[in-house]
Amino acid sequence: MSDRIFLHICCAPCLTVVQPSLESEGWGLTGYFYNPNIHPWREWERRLSTLRDYAPAAGIEVVFAEDYPLEDNLSGLLASSPRCLSCYDQRLGATAKKASEMGFTHFSTTLMLSPYQDADLLRKAGEKAAGEHSVEFVYYDLRSRYHESISRSRSAGLYRQPYCGCVFSERDRYAHGGGAAGRHLSRGRELR
């Protein structure tokens, strides 16, 4: 499976750009929905349902992890500074582990599309997970294509979530007007 990526999927809207971008680079994909960071549970369920509906139309097989370890996620977030690193570690660690168990040699994440994610922390977590599970982390800087995902997901009638996922990002979105939107993000490798 050296030409395949086990792709962590945060949501269907991000997949609308990441999937064709990776496929245009010659990668075959199998998706993985593992997002215990999404709160409340009804929001998690809505994102899961949206991806379940979209995946067949997109032509991607997705493995769905339906456990919801709320306590583990919250304790990790509360103990971490910056808290996003704990979230990345948890999700990318689980993805790398599952990729290794399923015989994949590469893994990645749709999180690399969002300008609201910290690219340096995301790559750090991916590389850590890669080392722990003997798989390679594939990262492309797709943030310049984020607005393309907005138009594609709207055209497809997909639910677009209003915040990243955790209770803190929900609070920051509504109480502080945008959360991490103003954070400086570094540049990574661009796809053609």
Q: Is residue 151 part of a domain?
A: yes
Comparing 45-54, 69-78, 118-127, 133-142, which segment has the lowest mean pLDDT? Answer: 69-78
Question: Does residue 149 lie within any of the structural domains?
Answer: yes
CATH of the domain at 23: 3.40.50.620
Main-chain dihedrals φ then ψ at residue 184, nearest 5 degrees: -75, 130
Residue 190 covered by a domain: no
Identify whether 189 is part of a domain: no
Residue 173 has pLDDT above 50, yes or no: yes
Confidence at residue 161, expressed as pLDDT on a 0 to 100 scale: 83
What's the pTM value of the predicted model, to 2 decimals? 0.85
Range of the structural domain that residue 117 is part of: 4-182
Specify which residues 12 forms β-bridges with.
Answer: none
pLDDT tens-digit series, residues 55-108: 999 999 999 998 877 777 777 666 667 777 778 999 999 999 999 999 999 999
How many structural domains comprise the chain? 1
Distance between CA atoms of residues 45 and 189, nearest Å: 33
Half-sphere exposure of 25 (CA within 13 A, CB side): 18
Tell me, yes or no, whether 133 lies in a domain.
Answer: yes
Reported as a pLDDT band with limits 50, 70 and 90, residue 182 is very low
pLDDT at residue 78, rounded to an integer: 65
For the ranges 93-107, 115-129, 142-156, 170-184, which has the lowest average pLDDT? 170-184
Residue 192 in domain: no
* Alpha-carbon span 148 to 49, nearest angstrom: 22
- Closest by CA position to 34, among listed 26, 24, 44: 44
> For residue 92, is it within any domain?
yes
